[in-house]
Structure 1
Amino acid sequence: MKLLKIFLSRLVIYMTIILFQAIYLLFVAYRLVEYNQLIHLFFIILSYSIAIYLVSKDENTNYKIAWIIAILVLPDIGGLLYILIGNKRPSFLLRNKLLPGIEKMNALRHQDEQIKKTIINKKTISLDYLISQHFPIYKNTDTIYYSLGDYNYRDMLADLRNAKHFIFMEYFIVSKGLMFDTIFEILREKVKEGVDVRFIYDDFGSVSTIPFKFKQKLQSWGIKCVAFNRFVPLFSISQNHRDHRKICVIDGYIGYSGGFNIADEYINAKERFGHWKDTGIRLEGDAVWSLTTMFLSTFYAYYPDLEEDVDAFRPHVHHPEPFKGNGYVLPYGDEPLDDEWVGENVYLNLITHASREIMIMTPYFIIDDTMLKSLTLAAKNGVRVKVFTPHIPDKRLVFRVTRSYYYQLIKAGIEVYEYTPGFLHAKVMMVDRKIATVGTINFDYRSLYLHFECNTLLYQCHCIDAIYQDFKNLEYVSQRMTIEETWHYKVGIIEAFLRLISPLL
């Protein structure tokens, strides 16, 4: 019965339809090639033209190499495949739908020049670069770091129950269970109290986990709901661009983000891959405005006719008293609608400017040569680099790619650890024990180039000590990998092949 339910699920049915489309397109293409020599010649010229175009294209090198090899191996249809699924840029329809809201919200985020003048390490935290991308840095924001999603969930429930005016939530995965039932019962009650509740979920991320007619049910309760980039069974690159953000904003001055979704494994109420280690961040104060505007930039794309005063959602509207807080807080986002890979650029800049120590938590470690060289060069320059990954994987092929990097990292002097109790889903990076970034951006191609993401950069905040302690505690329960244990990952044929095609996965 369980197996039948899986085969009849929306995800399996849609993926089967897409697979049949791919097979049919390939069959038609090959028949055309065999039928007419001119058509064959056209496809060959198309393939080689695209291969030459990719050489000069401003694109990730590993991604270009993977596609050039695919095109040269399959010259009859390689060019056609690239046109159908190779371009990482979002579809024209998705771009036109989202850009107006993004541009509108970008215009509402401004940098306080007095705050900027007080910062010493502007280059280290990519300050001017992030400001140019419309992400200002704030003071007057209290921060709490959560070393487990369990703790984050507890505090978020309390804040949701105390909401008086509005609740904005945006998540990649929504799955039925204890966490789902508890949160949506609170949201339903809040709507009855007159609270404005809005909810965004990614349609693909939740395709096999949400109840039937989920969006309609939420709307019947009075919740304004968005299913981001509806997943339709089409053989198209447009299905690749997902909303991977995790944002919760309450009354404009309380915000949550991190790696956790709305599913029981994130709070260890259900065991899937051993103990689930995730992290989160709570903001209270001025910096929540950036989370609010990131949420609204997507929301307004699906409610374009909604006329309202956006300033009504600013932090001080429902909290007129001055905010407490220490240090500097900079929430920032990334999206594939432009040629700015903000998430990757911030990571690279932190690595480049590190002088003593770099520590990274990531569930997936699938990086390009630039990132790999930056990390290994930092280690060779005397910076202590530690990378923490899961011991129990959620995706076995992706895990094999992650492990394929171990040998090179360890050989360069980088310490690699696997979280032995289970699955490590956290996305955290700390540099020199004074700067950290916490959020949704993985060290993989999807997060860095395809998805809509968000992180929070923390500088000189008290919660930096909590993040540092979390890394130390993580080291105690993790297994340090040795070069003797990892050499076979480097020379494995399967690993080599997976590394080659990893930008296309």
Structure 2
Amino acid sequence: MDKSKRGITRLVFSRIGIVTGLFLLQVFFLLFLFSAFENFLPQIWGGSIFLTATVVFYIVNCPMNSNSKITWLILILAFPVFGCLLFAYTKSDLGHRSLKERTEAVINNSPVKLEQEPNTLSNLEKLDKGIYNLARYIAKSTSYPVFCDTHVTYLESGEKKFEVLLKELEKAKEFIFLEYFIISEGKMWNDIYEILARKAKEGVEVRLMYDGTCEFKTVDSKFPKKLRRAGIQCKPFSPITPFVSTHYNYRDHRKIIVIDNKVAFTGGINLADEYINEKVRFGHWKDSAVMLKGKAVESFTLMFLQMWSLDGKEHNFDPYLKNSYPEKTGEGFVIPYGDCPTDGYKTGEHVYMDIINRATDYVHIMTPYLILDAEMENSIKFAAERGVDVSIIVPGIPDKKGAWALAKTHYSALISSGVNIYEYTPGFIHSKTFVSDSREAVVGTINLDYRSLYHHFECAAYFAFGESVMKVEEDFENTLKKCTKVTKESIKKEKLIIKIRGYILKVIAPLM
């Protein structure tokens, strides 16, 4: 499929395409009603009012994010028929139900459960009750335990991760698992593919899982066949098909590599040349990742196997989780965790908010998108108001102008509460990092936007009381030197068109 056809198909089956289609359907529906039922217009009008009032009453009383409620109310009151149809389509969420049933089946029927080592948890409780409580929450919401025998290496750039990754791939003896949101052919992918194909010939089991949107954006239709011919097992997550379904709303945004259940990588870096600055798109691309070595790698191995098994074809995880580790391979505590949009928990957002709420000295954040719901914005503002140094680095050159304009709508309120916002002058920030009080940090795939916090499959590594925490802080401070601080004066000088675009998009932000 050529690029023009892929672009048209992607537009038609995107959320914008569906919304536009429903809007046009409403127009034709109303014209039909006016022409065919002209004598019954009072009854039709009354029915429309009753339907709108019923839906509004339902929205006001249902458990839903407050920002989402406001968005739906505005949409339904402005376009009653269109709004009610779209709400019914979204609320029915047949795709969500199907995906939820499959994820629950995989997790609940998983042949392997990672057990929590009791001494690790009790030692953490003695050291820090707040982090202990967070570990218990993550265990409850995701079933992933806390480890104390894993070495964490923070990788402060895509170039550094790429260099280290190639060396680790060469050491693979048993299996290599890869799960990525974006794969694009170029130097990065070609160098990795050469090793994967060679390892597959040597008898190493190689599996690659990528998000189905890649087939419309970055790889052609022959990509899976090429990999399978090289002996690489390949599977797209939720491939796009010409059927309207809310299933497509849930994407696999994770970036995971596991090697022999001994080494794991995660972070913001996809398999494409812009992530290692071989290709310039938005100035300099700043990203980050972590490498884990030790027992905590088991969590990422299991995470991958569960996603791979959503089609119900994988049943035996044991061969991939058998390893012996030295009693002590690292310092501090590590919790790898996943975030699933169908489990009823908002693990990614809650971990971030817990770090913010417990901070006493500082919280330093790097994020490509700053599209906050009311709960997250209030946590950030309150932390700053009680004297915590809350500093956030965002892109100076955006990849999405709409998201950039939307982020700027939060600046004034955050700065007024004492939050420091910095724009990365050389280009684009794609790192997703939190670090607080020289004590705890998170590096992963989770952005501060609605898609990451509500709709995507995500993952991250939380770590505390280790040297790697200070490496994240050191990277933040070094990056800060290349940033420009946002001030009230600079906000006033912002172009009017950007402000207007941001405020319009803010109304529909939860639907983006």
TM-score, with normalisation over the residues of structure 1?
A: 0.93
**1:181 and 2:178 aligned:** no
Q: CA deviation at 1:211?
A: 2.7
CA contact (8 A) 2:75 2:83 kept: yes
Partners of 2:10 and 2:216 within 8 A in 1: no
Q: Among residues 136, 140, 144, which one is paired with 1:135 in the alignment?
A: 144
Match of 1:376 in 2: 381
Per-residue deviation, residues 330-370 of structure 1 (Å, max 9, x unmatched): 01111111221111111111111101101000000000111
- State the partner residue of 2:278: 269
Cα deviation, residue 90, structure 1? 4.5
Greater displacement, 76-85 / 64-73: 76-85
C-alpha distance 204-87 of structure 1, shift in aligned 2 (>3 A): farther
Q: Could you say if the C-alpha distance between residues 305 and 90 of structure 1 is closer, same or farther in structure 2, counting changes exceeding 3 Å?
A: closer
Q: Pairwise mapping of residues 5-84 of structure 1 onto structure 2 (< 5 A)? A: 6-8=3-5, 10-16=6-12, 19=17, 21-22=21-22, 25-31=25-31, 33-34=33-34, 35-36=36-37, 37=40, 41-84=46-89
Match of 1:249, SS?
A: strand
Distance 2:479 2:268 in 1: 16
Where in structure 2 are the equivalents of 1:411-450 lying within 5 Å?
411-450=416-455
What residue in structure 2 maps to residue 162 of structure 1?
171
- Kindly provide the CA deviation profile for residues 185-209 of structure 1, in whole angstroms up to 9, marking residues without a partner as x: 2111111111111111001145210
Distance 1:350 1:87 in 2: 34
For 2:506, which of 472, 493, 499 is the aligned residue?
499
Aligned partner of residue 108 in structure 2, secondary structure = helix
- Secondary structure of the 2:428 match is strand
CA contact (8 A) 1:364 1:442 kept: yes
* Identical-residue share of aligned pairs (%): 36
Counterpart residue identity of residue 30, structure 1: L
Q: In terms of mean alpha carbon deviation, does 37-46 or 198-207 score higher?
A: 37-46
Residues of 1 paired with 2:81 and 2:175: CA distance?
55
* 8 Å CA contact retained: 1:361, 1:388: yes
- Aligned twin of 1:217: 226
Could you tell me how far apart the structure 1 residues matched to 2:209 and 2:360 are?
40
| Residues 1:84 and 1:254: Cα distance change in structure 2 (over 3 Å) | same
Q: Please point out which of 206, 213, 226 is paired with 1:204.
A: 213
Distance in 2, matches of 1:163 and 1:359, equals 35
| Aligned residue among 478, 482, 494 for 1:477 | 482
Cα distance in 1, alignment partners of residues 392 and 243 from structure 2: 38
1:21/1:235 contact within 8 Å kept: no
Match of 2:412 in 1: 407
Q: What is the aligned counterpart of 2:104 among 90, 99, 102?
A: 99
Could you list the runs of 5+ residues in structure 2 that have no partner in the other structure?
Answer: none
| Secondary structure of residue in 1 paired with 2:463 | strand
CA contact under 8 A between 2:308 and 2:314: conserved in structure 1?
no
Equivalent position amino acid for 1:222 in 2: G
Q: Retained in 2: the 8 A contact 1:43–1:77?
A: no
Q: In structure 1, give the amino acid aligned to 2:7.
A: L
For residue 195 of structure 1, what is the aligned residue in structure 2? 204
| Matching of residue 121 in structure 1 with residue 128 in structure 2 | yes
Q: Which residue of 2 aligns with 1:149?
A: 158
2:396 equivalent among 391, 399, 406: 391
Alignment partners' CA distance in 2, 1:87 and 1:277: 39
- Partner SS for 1:225: strand
Amino acid at match of 2:205: D
Q: Could you say which residue in structure 1 is the equivalent of 2:114?
A: 109
- Against the structure 1 CA distance between its residues 435 and 250, is the aligned structure 2 distance closer, same or farther, given a 3 Å change threshold? same
- Within 1, Cα distance between the matches of 2:349 and 2:254? 16
Deviation at 1:236, TM superposition (A): 3.6
Q: TM-score, normalised by structure 2?
A: 0.92
Question: Is the 1:264–1:270 contact (alpha carbons within 8 Å) kept by the matching residues of 2?
Answer: yes
Please give the alpha-carbon distance, in whole angstroms, between the structure 2 residues aligned to 1:151 and 1:432.
Answer: 26
What are structure 1's unaligned runs of at least 5 residues?
Answer: none
Query: 2:407·2:502 contact (CA, 8 Å) conserved in 1?
Result: no
3-state SS of paired residue (1:404): helix
Contact 1:404 1:490 in 2 (8 A): no
SS at structure 2 position matched to 1:49: helix
Structure 2 SS opposite 1:379: helix
> Counterpart in 2 of 1:355?
360
Over the aligned positions, Cα root-mean-square deviation in angstroms equals: 2.2
3-state SS of 2:304 partner: helix
Code of the residue aligned with 1:342 in structure 2: it is T
Please state if 1:330 is matched with 2:330.
Answer: no
Larger helix percent: 2
1:47 touches 1:77 (CA, 8 Å); kept in 2?
no
List structure 1 segments (4+ residues) > 6 angstroms apart after TM superposition: none
**Contact 2:150–2:331 (CA under 8 A) maintained in structure 1:** yes
Q: Does the aligned pair in 2 maintain the 1:171–1:245 contact within 8 Å?
A: yes
